[in-house]
Structure 1
């Protein structure tokens, strides 16, 4: 009953918490660690205290990062924790970070649609333009897949990002049909 009671008390979300200190110089080390932590989707609870929902993949990534910090002459501890207080706020912070990522994807989808519209206005209906736009759509899809993979608590912005990406795919399909028609006429 002890473990069950603890899970009920903490809402069931267990966290991996990385507490670290990096030498002040060179500053690139600090920036590199920050980028890696953000890339994992972790949130900062305080300066140099980052958290991720517990999972095997998150643990592997944070253990590797801990070793990197130690190798650069810093200190780092990796803990598992359940929130005794403030759990909902931590979950909200984590979901807000995912929603920010989803919102950025939606913004990039708008940029993508604007680029396709620009191709129509300029009457650029070539395979080269299609290939470039197709590559951009693949990047958007891959980015969304990464965010969805780390969205283990179910942030609300996922649907809007998926809808925006579906719209991009539909518009690109329409553009591709136009490219095929234009390229076919030149033969």
Structure 2
């Protein structure tokens, strides 16, 4: 069995200014790090993570703090699984939030359909919202190092949102005068040809 290897960053930063301390925390969370406790976090070992953690280590030093970066492994499979569970729990939380936003998107399409609000402006707005959902899911997936259980549900919900928007778009195109059968053959009364 191949053992997982992690990068362990432990750091201590001055309490003030809080903005700099928070910036370090955000950077680490943005990389997908899990915190074992305050100032102690883990990431799966990769060249990219080594490089990025060295940057964080430098950031910590620049604000007057201290950081130590180590490589570590679990002592046994049970300890290793605890770490993996922490990573998957964090990603499942992100997937849950994403799925909630998909539900909001679905409700918006249902509301517009029920109101028969089939306009290009509304379609464009909903298309932008779907693109945001796609981008968000891509970001979550990038940090899903251990294939969290809710990833498949998130994919299904995004596919459902895409199908709903396609159906809504069809209704919008059908509702527009220029897309109705025979619309292009009608002569404009102002046309003198």
TM-score normalised by the chain length of structure 2: 0.86
Once the two structures are overlaid, the 10-residue window that deviates more, 115-124 or 134-143, is: 115-124
Moved more, 91-100 or 68-77: 68-77
Once residues 92 and 126 of structure 1 are traced to their aligned partners in structure 2, the CA distance between those partners, rounded to angstroms, is 46
Q: 2:91 and 2:62 mapped to 1: Cα distance?
A: 30
- Paired residue for 2:122, among 126, 129, 139? 129
User: Relative to structure 2, which stretch is displaced further, 23-32 or 116-125?
Assistant: 116-125
1:138 aligns with 2:136: no
Alpha-carbon distance, 1:44 to partner: 0.3
Question: Equivalent residue for 1:49?
Answer: 40
Aligned to 1:104: 97
Q: Distance in 1 between matches of 2:13 and 2:115?
A: 51
Aligned length: 178
- Between Structure 1 and Structure 2, the one with more helix by share is 1
2:3 aligned to 3, 12, 16, which one? 12
Give 5+ residue unaligned stretches, structure 2. Answer: 184-193
The gaps in structure 1 that reach 5 residues or longer are 1-7
TM-superposition CA deviations, 1:78-115 (whole Å, max 9, x none) = 21111115221111111111111111111110011111
1:153 to 136, 146, 158: 146
Q: Give the whole-Å Cα distance in 2 for the aligned partners of 1:20 and 1:44.
A: 11
- 2: distance between equivalents of 1:61 and 1:179? 46
Deviation >4 Å, runs of 4+: none
Partner of residue 61, structure 1: 52
Q: Which has the larger radius of gyration?
A: 2
**Alignment RMSD:** 1.6
**Higher mean Cα deviation, 31-40 or 161-170?**
31-40
